[in-house]
Chains A and B, each alone.
Chain A
Amino acid sequence: MLFEMKNVYHTYMRGTPFAVDSLRGLSLSIPQGQTTALVGPTKAGKSTIVDMLAGLIKPASGTLLFEGDDVFASSFDIERIRSSVGVVFQSPEAQIFEETVGKDVSFGPRRKKVPLAESRRLVKESLEAVGLDYEDFRSRYTYALSGGQKRRVAIAGVLALQPRVIIFDEPSAGLDPRGRRELLELITRLKQQQNLSIVYVSSGLDDVIGLADTIYVLDRGRLAFQGTPREILAHASELAALDIALPEAAQIAVALRDTLPNIRTDVLNLNELEAEIIRVEGGTGGIPLSGSGVSPEIL
């Protein structure tokens, strides 16, 4: 188990008149080699969890284990987290601080005192992994980049650390449909090629429904429920109550229930939705749905 959070509590601005509880007894586990999604509306505590997993803030109470060791024990070397956990924050501008792309991406290797040739290789590979040409981009000024490019450079900078797990904090925020698609393709590629563990934090289910192995749904600092993508879709009314929009395909299926009462709502994408409509309407053929046969909730 890569990360384990046990009964964690946290309060922002503790002791001031502005104090706000961000986590209230949260427990979850992030296994190695999988993609785990943390989904919840704003103020659900997602950013707090990201900060904790990155070793940036300490919980007020409760424990966080990284590979079985207590992160906030005095014997724990925070460098373990810094070199194994990469974080891509919401606004990539916050993460990029060197003048040129090459210098910024090489920041991680340089800090680890990696020899120059090796560092160059890492930078080249990282930039190529995110789809940016090494020769073209390495001497470009970071401040002259577009939002999408900055995001990729930030990801490259994290990849150059050769982390075992990458935490993405709402990475598709502000991206247009093409940008979002490219980002999700990139993450899927990274998952497959580099065998990374991925933690994806998001306020909606659209991005993660096809990407994640396990989804945790958070509500005001607590865990509401968890499960595989299909299991999550069975909780349609609870998700609506939390103002978490169902992914498009499931939304359509739910809307069609009046007319097609037997339609399953745990459809993950357009193909499954189409197949399901055909099945219910008694058409020919159809692609059977994979995954556990969880009966959809009656709304």
Chain B
Amino acid sequence: MIELSRDITFGQYINNGSQVARMDPRTKLLCAVLLIILFSFLSSFIAFFVCLLFCALLQWNSRIPTGYVLRSFKPFLGFLVFIFCIEVLFYTSATQNKTLLWHWAFLNVSWEGIIRSAMTIVRVLFLYYITSMLLFATSLVDLTDGMEALLSPLQKIGIPANAFVMVLVIAFKFVPIFVTEVERLMKAQAARGVRFDQGNFIQRTMKIAPLLVPLFISGFKRAETLSVAMEARCYGGRPGWRRSKRRQLNFDRYDALVLGLTLALCLITVVINFVSPV
């Protein structure tokens, strides 16, 4: 059954009025960046467990259905399993301090290998979770406004951060539109007898090819019309041009609380990371 929009959920804002959704975007982005750095650095399972508690709190406060979020992991779970296996099989430790469980030629499975590879997977999952939650709980305009505000020092020294942010926003805006379009294309072709659900991996991949050309053409057309429409509303680089903002970003108590909690989490988990055995 062709219903892509149901399974592809990355990057769609859910406007449910939760406190998380209404936070100052600068705080959200800052915390997201802090957490991303934290997750990339942590190597202790206990530390990640504490992070899990934090994430559960976040999940609850965001009022976004858990099932929906978990379903967004579906598309790449297979890939993760594949990566895990490869990492385990090819694991080599600098200290050569391995407890081998099984080996065959140059492939080996060791306890350390399993633990380290599992850590990588855990890290990826947390990173993906935080990034998707950021996108689920932050409207596109919030994202732009927050990014622009945080990147404004760069803009002041002449780097076109604002334009970069606009490009990102538009790209994200079109994701659901393109998903719907691919769905339409697939249905139209399926009605002419193309069987997307049959054939081996290579055959199925080949069937995607005729979808790409109309999609690209449509994409370019839309991009052109949109950029013309934006220019017609006076968006455009001219010397000395600066956009003003209708919205005012408000940093309030809830933001301070979240920022505080995030910093606390970072502190706690870093400490755990250093002292914990696992």
Contacts and interface: CB of A to CB of B under 8 A. Distances in A.
Do any CB atoms of chain A lie under 8 A from CB atoms of chain B in the complex? Answer: yes
Interface string B156-199: 00000000000000000000000001001101111111000000
A91 B184 contact: yes
B2 A57 contact: yes
B47 to A, nearest CB: 32
A108 B189 CA distance: 11
A14 interface: yes
Most buried by B among A85, A95, A158: A95
Given A13-B5, A57-B3, A111-B193, A94 B184 contact: yes
A94 to B, nearest CB: 4
Given A58-B1, A93-B214, A16 B6 contact: yes
Given A95-B188, A107-B192, A108-B192, A13 B214 contact: no
A12 interface: yes
B210 interface: yes
B197 to A, nearest CB: 10
Interface string A95-112: 111100000000110010
Interface residues of A, number: 32
A87 interface: yes
B6 A14 contact: yes
A125 B191 CA distance: 21
A274 to B, nearest CB: 42
Nearest to A19: B6
B14, B68, B187, B217 pick with most chain A CB within 10 angstroms? B187
B2 A95 contact: no
A229 interface: no
B177 to A, nearest CB: 14
B273 to A, nearest CB: 36
A108 B16 CA distance: 47
A12 B192 contact: no
B78 interface: no
A15 B211 CA distance: 27
Nearest to B12: A18
Contacts of B6: 12-16
B225 to A, nearest CB: 15
Contacts of A108: 192-193
Contacts of A96: 214
Nearest to A107: B192
A56 interface: yes
A97 B191 contact: no
A225 interface: no
A40 interface: no
Interface string B130-149: 00000000000000000000
Question: What class of interface size applies to chain B in its complex with A?
Answer: 20 to 34
Contacts, number: 78
Nearest to B184: A94
A56 B64 contact: no
B189 A95 contact: yes
A51 interface: yes
A82 interface: yes
A17 B65 contact: yes
B17 interface: no
B40 interface: no
Interface string A75-96: 0000000110111010101111
A275 interface: no
Contacts of A18: 5, 12
Interface string B202-227: 00000000110110011000000000
B9 interface: yes
B237 interface: no
B68 A97 contact: no
Interface of A: 12-18, 51, 54, 56-58, 82-83, 85-87, 89, 91, 93-98, 107-108, 111, 143, 157-158, 161
- List the 9 closest A-B pairs by CB distance, nearest first: A97-B210, A94-B188, A87-B191, A95-B188, A54-B191, A89-B188, A82-B193, A111-B193, A94-B185
Interface of B: 1-3, 5-6, 9, 12, 14, 16, 64-65, 67-68, 71, 181, 184-185, 187-193, 210-211, 213-214, 217-218
26 contacts: A12-B5, A14-B6, A16-B9, A17-B14, A17-B64, A17-B65, A56-B2, A56-B190, A57-B3, A58-B1, A82-B191, A82-B192, A82-B193, A83-B193, A86-B191, A87-B191, A91-B184, A93-B214, A93-B218, A94-B189, A95-B189, A97-B210, A98-B210, A108-B192, A158-B192, A161-B192
